[in-house]
Amino acid sequence: MDGVLFSKDESGEMIQCGMCGREDAEGFSLESSNEAEFEFLELQFGDVSNWTVNLCCQEKFSEICSVRGFELRLKAGLPLKTVFAY
């Protein structure tokens, strides 16, 4: 799964971490690339609009991904939400 960096400057508001609820000027919008990742993110964060991880929880979330057999790839760019209709 990918984490795409975005900022307050791009979104117009502070980014709320989906794990702990803290706000920051930057965060990663999480994107699934297959059904298994989508289901994992849905279980972890619920609503697709909450699929963000800020630097405060990046390491913890990366560890959770690893334990579940997923790789978190962080990159710069504009967030594009991937929604699967299953």
For residue 20, name the pLDDT band (cuts at 50, 70, 90): very high
**What is the pTM assigned to this prediction?**
0.80
Domain ranges of the chain: 2-76
> Does the pLDDT of residue 83 top 60, yes or no?
no
Which residues, in sequence order, are bridge partners of residue 23? Answer: 16
Residue among 19, 4, 24 at smallest CA distance from 79: 4
| Mean pLDDT (whole number) for 61-81 | 82
| Mean pLDDT (whole number) for 22-37 | 94
Q: Nearest 5°: phi and psi at 12?
A: 85, 0
pLDDT of residue 75: 87
